[in-house]
Amino acid sequence: MPITDILIIIAVYAACMFLGWWRQWRYWKTHHYTCPHCHMTFKPINFRRAKVYWFKRRYMTCPKCGHKDFMKMRKDDSKSWHSEQMNMSDYYEITRADRSDLQEILELQYSAFKSEAELLNDFSIPPLKQTYDEVEREYEKGVFLKATDDTGKIIGSVRAYIDNDTAFIGKLIVHPQKQGQGIGTNLLFAIERECDVERCELFASDKSVRNIQLYERLGYVRFKEQRISDNVTLVYLEIYI
């Protein structure tokens, strides 16, 4: 083999190695993990540990509470927070909702889905027409979680029911003034953990591009689309945990 071919092979190999190390370093610099138990966010001690492939998850141990679970990757930006340094206005806690919380959750649902209705130019969508009795029936057959701030006000919620070892997740809502802070992401992680099944399924309108992008970034993949009207197509996504 000519020496020039050998040098070319060595150069390509070195370039690939450099790109691999650069990608790991970039992930370490721009990403961190969020503990789903105590909400602490942290970066890996060594950037080699930050090697995360898209749509895959890792078991890690939280350095604060020692909770071992899925440590979810979340992009580090100006709205990132660390539990030791955050203001009380940024505090929230995710717990199971009680029956007494349903009216407040329903009111939050109306508020959160107004933007979806404006997107679809249709204010008769089911989440805005759902009644308290319907929510109560969903509560009886499924799991409701809530995110509360330091005053106890509900600022987010999600619900799911289990059928044939699949968790059907729906109504992932966050107060309009609290969106973009990772609350919805942590609610999704929490409901996955609460249901403890191998498969989770959810859906969104094809107009809800941001929501679909979030789900896909967290590992969900599209498997079906259903056209329910001339203006609305539902995109179904799933994940195997």
166: domain CATH number is 3.40.630.30
Q: How confident is the model at residue 85 (pLDDT cuts 50, 70, 90)?
A: very low
Does the structure show a pLDDT above 70 at 30?
no
The residue that leads in pLDDT, 236 or 83, is: 236
* CA-to-CA dists, residue 195 to 33, 47, 173, 240, angstroms: 22, 32, 18, 13
* Tokens encoding 222: 């599209």
- Domain co-membership, 101 together with 169: yes
Q: What is the pLDDT of residue 55?
A: 34
- Domain co-membership, 17 together with 118: no
Q: What is the pLDDT of residue 230?
A: 80
Per-chain mean pLDDT for the chain:
78
Q: Would you say residue 229 lies in a domain?
A: yes
Q: What is the pLDDT of residue 215?
A: 92
Q: What is the pLDDT of residue 76?
A: 37
Which value, in Å, is the radius of gyration of the alpha carbons in the chain?
21
Closest CA to 136 of 105, 163, 170: 105
Q: What is the pLDDT of residue 135?
A: 96
Number of domains into which the chain is organized = 2
Q: Rounded to whole angstroms, how far apart are CA atoms 83 and 78? A: 15
Q: What is the pLDDT of residue 51?
A: 38
11-33: average pLDDT: 69
Q: How confident is the model at residue 45 (pLDDT cuts 50, 70, 90)?
A: very low
Q: Would you say residue 83 lies in a domain?
A: no
CB atoms within 10 A of CB 144: 21
List residues bridging with 200 in a β-sheet. Answer: 167, 239
Does the structure show a pLDDT above 70 at 54?
no
Closest CA to 208 of 236, 186, 187, 182: 236
Does the structure show a pLDDT above 50 at 56?
no
Look at 50-64, 164-178, 213-227 and tell me which has the smallest mean pLDDT.
50-64
Q: How confident is the model at residue 236 (pLDDT cuts 50, 70, 90)?
A: very high
Q: What is the pLDDT of residue 228?
A: 84
Q: What is the pTM of this model?
A: 0.66
Tokens 């889905």 identify what position? 113
- Domain co-membership, 53 together with 110: no
- Domain co-membership, 12 together with 51: yes
Q: How confident is the model at residue 48 (pLDDT cuts 50, 70, 90)?
A: very low
- Domain co-membership, 140 together with 218: yes
- Domain co-membership, 127 together with 225: yes
- Domain co-membership, 35 together with 125: no
Q: Would you say residue 82 lies in a domain?
A: no
* Tokens encoding 169: 């997740």
Q: Would you say residue 53 lies in a domain?
A: yes
pLDDT, one tens digit per residue, over 135-178 is 999 999 999 999 999 899 999 999 999 999 999 999 999 999 99
- Domain co-membership, 232 together with 177: yes
The residue that leads in pLDDT, 203 or 14, is: 203
- Domain co-membership, 7 together with 71: yes
Q: Would you say residue 23 lies in a domain?
A: yes
Look at 45-49, 198-202, 203-207 and tell me which has the smallest mean pLDDT.
45-49
Q: Would you say residue 200 lies in a domain?
A: yes
Q: How confident is the model at residue 33 (pLDDT cuts 50, 70, 90)?
A: low
- Domain co-membership, 96 together with 24: no
- Domain co-membership, 196 together with 155: yes
Domain of 30 in residue numbering reads as: 3-75
Q: Rounded to whole angstroms, how far apart are CA atoms 74 and 199? A: 22
Q: What is the pLDDT of residue 122?
A: 82
70-75: average pLDDT: 41
**Cβ within 8 Å of residue 204, ≥6 positions away:** 211, 212, 215, 234, 235, 237
- Residue 121: phi and psi, rounded to 5, are 55, 45
- Domain co-membership, 94 together with 57: no
